[in-house]
Structure 1
Amino acid sequence: MASPTPSKPDADGRAFYENDVDFDVLAAHDSDFAAICKVSKHKRWIDFQDPKVVKQLTKSLLKCDFNLTLDLPDDRLCPPVPVRWNYIRWIQELLDTTSATYNDQYDSNREVHGLDIGVGASCIYGLLACKTRPNWHMAGTDIDAHSLTHARQNITANDLDPRIKLVQTTTEDPLIPLAAINRSKLDFVMTNPPFYASDQDMQSSYINKVAPPSAVCTGSANEMICPGGDIGFVSRLLAESLELKHSVQWYTAMLGKMTSLQQIVSELKKHEITNFAVTGLQAGARTKRWAVAWSFGDRRPRNEVARHGDLVHAVLPAPTAQTLAVPMMDARWAGERVDECLRTLDVTWQWEAAVSIGVLEAGGNVWSRAARRKRKFASEAVEGEGLRDVKMAGAAEDGGRGEKEGVALAVKITCKKEEVELRWLRGKDHVVFTSFCGMLKRTLTGRA
């Protein structure tokens, strides 16, 4: 990318925006942007209160960093690119780290279907998602015909008509109109809802700020205001998700305030939704935004994805990783101990000794003393009965977990010099994960 500082290398070559846009770099790549820059003391700057300047910044970033073209009407929102891209990038990582393969990496062969609720005139989320992931498909909705007209023009201008489909809805329609978009299941839903509950609410937010808004706002009333503001909109999305549940793998939403994020996380907990993720989307020193995602499935995102960005402790989900310190031990020695231990349990265990990495699947807590006694009795009962597999006896006691859907816990174990990393891949109960971590720690160190 021309402008951001990459957070880390990624398989598909993309990264989060982390810092303010480097105007010098962008101007060197795009003459249209260079033309609207001002220079003082050898430093480039732009007037964020000029709508034409703000629009050019968005167009230049999309052109230079994503090879996208964009045309916007003067009376609709101009989307800042960094925060929008960070939202898309985070969703990509959510899906990459909760796939059925357990590999935590981008799978270019995976076909993904998403929905953007409220595409606006730019359709920026659909454009970014499909431009950076060739096997992704997007549906989009909006209640505003004027915005949809421009959104369709942007889709066509970027040759993405086959992969982005738009539907006009009303305020009475479901937020997730599966029938209207001709889908029974979706991999994710996203939305950047109006943040304010009323015009008075919006005006008071500006008055209460210490500094003026970082950029001029050209949004229409329907883009800025809805009943209950962002909390009301996302609460409505949550209510629909409680009905649809597994029809969508990840429900996600952007929020305008940390207090809004705290309220939505509190609502998730009230409904006993424990598989959720949160992120701070800020890029540089300007406007802060946050996002939340929740799932009714049991695939757990990587820890740095589930708890990503600048956040407060109250909104954090349960960790999906633990690191066990094993002083004076190399990876091979630790791996042998782990392999030896897990082969005694009633689990599915795949171990790659050459790289000291393994994946465990269990139907429940089979490492407790009670479970070990049951296994011992089962082993004695079948002794002498030929080739009957003791593991099948244990599986029956655990509810017949021979099928993949019977997995209560999946963990990836990576042995390194003086430490063992445990990555929670799958499961609904964090207590089971922490119990397994405790058992393995005792095995490796002899300490609780």
Structure 2
Amino acid sequence: MASSSSSATTITERSYYDGDVDFDALATKDADFAVICKVSKDKRWIDFQDPKVVQQLTESLLKCDFGISSIELPDDRLCPPVPVRWNYIRWIQELLDATSDTYSDRYDPGREVVGLDIGVGASCIYSLLACSSRPQWRMAGTDIDQHSLEYARKNVEANGMNKRIKLMLSTSDSPLIPLDAMKMEELDFVMTNPPFYSSAEDMQASYTGKQAPPSAVCTGAENEMICPGGDIGFVTRILEKSLKLRERVQWYTAMLGKMSSLQQVVAKLKEQGITNFAVTCLQAGHRTKRWAVAWSFQDYRPRNDVARHGELVHAVLPAPTAQTIAVPSMDAKSAGERIDATVRELDVRWQWRPSSSVGLMEAKENVWSRAARRKQKFASAGEKEKPKDVTMGSDGADESGEEEDAVGLAVKITCKNEAVELQWMRGSDHVLFTSFCGLLKRALTGRA
């Protein structure tokens, strides 16, 4: 994965920060950062307890890694560490790339995306990172703090983002997702980095008993650190709103301060019957860990490594969206021919690409069970309609031009030497996905 020193990586392809910032590389690129560094035993380090030093680190990373060259941070508001913030944005990018209606599972530079950041803060860092890295993305942002919003607007204007980032003052009584007030019918995603603590006592307790002090000085105002119910309470209110808005937002997402918070939020999602969710550990460096959760009422399923991203406990993991069938001594061509023959016997939409050994199957329902096959056999005087072809473009998109039928399951099949990979692209029923995987396993290996 790329680190902050990977200058060869373009902004739109930048990966996660996966380690501590390389101070030597950053000092070489930015003279302002070099000035604040200290050197001992030929190793650069900085004083994370000095607010001005922490501000300079943020400003230098934004400038050198993302081209955000003008940012003003007040002394009495949070100074956002860049790596974890970028990792949150990057994860959202992967979520959206992996759940588009084209089934392309990759970044589409032409796709227009609109997101909402609840609580932009003085830096407006999430909106600036999102828009600087994806030229077709636009952001809306809200905040209940007029002081922070004034700085956020300055930062948007200073970076020439006025037409792509729109900010609005909110109140504690306003809807958290104010689509009507913003005159928006729908959004691609909602994000928030809410206050983690429910009270000053709760915040103090989080530091008690820890062997090491906080990794960096905290300059956050009370409204940035504390809210009723802490991060769980805040995200619960977003969840309640999402139950009303539902598909008007494709992905509802939130950052959380503790693994225990993630566990409680995932439990609440399950209580509501929400099965299409994703989780991540947004670790950047050796000390900073945050977690994030996303959920959707649509049926496009994220790639398995996106839905279950980072170091996590089993209890929070969603159902897997991938299976691999081992086919020892079988090459990709032979496996593909067997799968193509099997799927063509079904009443499904299907395209197989022999040149790349990749196929895409769409089904309305389970048409491969014994009961479904008997029903099909005796329908229409015993003559079965051939499966419709799904005409995919170079990126895997359906280009048939036909009106789309209802889709109960979509699966991408990739054949490799000695293995077949199955990716759940769409659908609401995990049992249906595993059932289809079982069909192909029997066809390939003769075993259930």
Query: For the superposition of Structure 1 and Structure 2, which TM-score range results when normalised by the shorter chain?
Result: over 0.9
Contact in 2 for aligned 1:98/1:104 (Cα 8 Å): yes
Contact in 1 for aligned 2:349/2:387 (Cα 8 Å): no
Counterpart amino acid of 2:235? V
| Residue 182 of structure 1: how far off its partner (Å) | 1.6
Contact in 1 for aligned 2:11/2:65 (Cα 8 Å): no
Partner residue of 1:399? Answer: none
Query: Is it true that 1:92 corresponds to 2:93 in the alignment?
Result: yes
Partner residue of 1:414? Answer: 414
Partners of 1:326 and 1:41 in 2: CA distance: 54
Secondary structure of 1:406's counterpart equals coil
User: Within 5 A, what are the aligned runs for 1:36-435?
Assistant: 36-68=36-68, 69-378=70-379, 380-382=381-383, 389=385, 404=404, 406-435=406-435
| Residue 404 of structure 1: how far off its partner (Å) | 3.0
| Residue 298 of structure 1: how far off its partner (Å) | 0.3
| Residue 2 of structure 1: how far off its partner (Å) | 8.8
Secondary structure of 1:131's counterpart equals helix
Give structure 1 regions of 4+ aligned residues with deviation exceeding 6 angstroms: 8-11
Partner residue of 1:4? Answer: 4
Contact in 2 for aligned 1:185/1:247 (Cα 8 Å): yes
The gaps in structure 2 that reach 5 residues or longer are 389-401
Secondary structure of 1:189's counterpart equals strand
| Residue 9 of structure 1: how far off its partner (Å) | 7.8
Contact in 1 for aligned 2:345/2:387 (Cα 8 Å): no
Partners of 1:30 and 1:195 in 2: CA distance: 33
Contact in 1 for aligned 2:336/2:357 (Cα 8 Å): yes
| Residue 12 of structure 1: how far off its partner (Å) | 3.2
The gaps in structure 1 that reach 5 residues or longer are 384-388, 393-401
| Residue 10 of structure 1: how far off its partner (Å) | 8.7
Contact in 2 for aligned 1:413/1:422 (Cα 8 Å): yes
Partner residue of 2:442? Answer: 442
Partners of 1:89 and 1:55 in 2: CA distance: 22
Q: Given the two structures, how large is their TM-score scaled by the length of structure 2?
A: 0.94
| Residue 405 of structure 1: how far off its partner (Å) | 5.6
Partners of 1:381 and 1:15 in 2: CA distance: 54
Partners of 2:280 and 2:25 in 1: CA distance: 27
Contact in 1 for aligned 2:344/2:387 (Cα 8 Å): no
Partners of 1:405 and 1:274 in 2: CA distance: 23
| Residue 380 of structure 1: how far off its partner (Å) | 3.3
Secondary structure of 1:334's counterpart equals helix
Counterpart amino acid of 1:113? V
Secondary structure of 2:142's counterpart equals strand
Secondary structure of 1:44's counterpart equals strand
Q: Given the two structures, how large is their TM-score scaled by the length of structure 1?
A: 0.94
Secondary structure of 1:340's counterpart equals helix
Contact in 1 for aligned 2:242/2:252 (Cα 8 Å): yes
Partners of 1:95 and 1:226 in 2: CA distance: 29
Partner residue of 2:391? Answer: none
Secondary structure of 1:120's counterpart equals coil
Contact in 1 for aligned 2:37/2:44 (Cα 8 Å): yes
| Residue 13 of structure 1: how far off its partner (Å) | 2.1
Instruction: Give CA-to-partner distance per residue, 1:330-386, whole Å, 9 cap, x none.
Output: 111000000000000010001111111010000111110001111111253458xxx
Partners of 1:138 and 1:278 in 2: CA distance: 22
Contact in 2 for aligned 1:278/1:308 (Cα 8 Å): yes
Counterpart amino acid of 2:244? E
Partners of 2:251 and 2:294 in 1: CA distance: 6
The Cα RMSD (Å) is: 1.7
Identity of aligned residues (%): 70
Partners of 1:12 and 1:148 in 2: CA distance: 27
Secondary structure of 1:359's counterpart equals strand
Secondary structure of 1:447's counterpart equals coil
Secondary structure of 2:232's counterpart equals helix
Contact in 1 for aligned 2:32/2:60 (Cα 8 Å): yes
How many pairs are equivalent? 433
Partners of 1:208 and 1:443 in 2: CA distance: 57
Partners of 1:390 and 1:163 in 2: CA distance: 48
Counterpart amino acid of 1:15? S
| Residue 11 of structure 1: how far off its partner (Å) | 9.7
Partners of 1:51 and 1:422 in 2: CA distance: 49
| Residue 434 of structure 1: how far off its partner (Å) | 0.4
Partners of 1:10 and 1:443 in 2: CA distance: 43
Partners of 1:10 and 1:370 in 2: CA distance: 52
